[in-house]
Amino acid sequence: MNDQIASVSEYYDTVGESYRSWSSSLNIHFGYYRRGISPFDLEAMLAQMNEEVLNRLQIPIEKKVTVVDAGCGVGESLRFMARRLPNAHFYGVTISPWQVGFGEKTNLAKGFENQIEIVLADFQETSFPDGFADAVFAVESSVYADGVDKINLIKEMGRILKPGGRLVVVDGFRRGTRPFPWYFEKLYRSALAAWAITDLAEIGLFEKTLRQVGFENIVVEDIGWRVLPSALHVPLTIMKLAWKSFFGKGARGSRRYLKALLLSMLMGGWKGRFGYYMLSAKKPYL
């Protein structure tokens, strides 16, 4: 296990339960707002993000398929999709032993133990065979892959996808590669370190790498305004974490998560250099 993988694993094993301050169901990502959803209902927006990803994977409900979540957290997105696709089999990949244990326990409690498997592995180097999956997705996990183009992750996802299979990635990205001013670079690096991230992907390089690896029908959607209503729930989460940091259980994890959120709020204010995107692509037939 290299130092970066160990760092990410340690972060999530430590923070773990603190994410309940964000989502009681441990949907560890931003939400997607659509008309008809209350902007005050965070859990509904989090579920809608899972729905949007599933829609772009374009999986027929009656088909027996294999779906991989690259960086699955505790598997809540997988359980959401398993309810929609009863004939599908799902695999989640995470490098956090805590997430594997929690996810397996939850799958058993909710009756998904035969439909969902959570694997302890690096999503840039899985043991899945070539052409294993019909669909692969990564929701706010691609940031943990190496480099600003995330080429190792994209190659691995391309390898395990069947021809005709689809990939969906949702995440925060840099816009452009020009250097930050020194004072902002320090904030940027501090924020990434708080999340145990080495580099955000640059959206143009990420799309270019998808093409170089061989993906086609690439669609890049800027969904920043769609996630804004859920992002407005961050201050409330910060207040919850601040209370837990001093008076609640799991204070160390709460403090780490609190620091990451505070620094990210400061960093994310520079909208011209950062964005939130959903990308979908298809692996061509041979």
Query: Does residue 162 have a pLDDT over 70?
Result: yes
pLDDT for 81: 97
Could you give the CA distance from residue 250 to residue 86 in angstroms, rounded to a whole number? 36
Query: Does residue 251 have a pLDDT over 70?
Result: no
Is the Cβ–Cβ distance between 30 and 229 less than 8 Å? no
Could you give the CA distance from residue 204 to residue 63 in angstroms, rounded to a whole number? 34
Over range 195-214, report the average pLDDT. 95
Task: Give the model confidence (pLDDT) of 5-32 as tens digits.
Answer: 778 788 788 777 778 888 888 898 999 9
Is the Cβ–Cβ distance between 92 and 117 less than 8 Å? yes
pLDDT band at 271 (very low <50, low <70, confident <90, very high): confident
Report CA 67 to chain centroid distance, whole Å.
15
pLDDT for 209: 97
Over range 172-201, report the average pLDDT. 90
Query: Does residue 247 have a pLDDT over 80?
Result: no
Mean pLDDT (the chain) is 90
Q: What is the CATH number of the domain that holds 158?
A: 3.40.50.150
Percentage of residues in the chain with pLDDT exceeding 90?
67
Task: Give the model confidence (pLDDT) of 25-73 as tens digits.
Answer: 889 899 999 999 999 999 999 999 999 999 999 999 888 999 999 999 9
Could you give the CA distance from residue 202 to residue 276 in angstroms, rounded to a whole number? 11
pLDDT for 194: 86
Could you give the CA distance from residue 30 to residue 84 in angstroms, rounded to a whole number? 20
Is the Cβ–Cβ distance between 135 and 64 less than 8 Å? no
pLDDT band at 245 (very low <50, low <70, confident <90, very high): low
Coil vs helix vs strand at 25: coil
Predicted TM-score of the model (pTM):
0.93
- The parent domain of residue 166 ranges over 3-282
Total domains present in the chain: 1
Query: Does residue 85 have a pLDDT over 70?
Result: yes
Task: Of 178-182, 201-205, 223-227, give the lowest mean pLDDT range.
Answer: 178-182
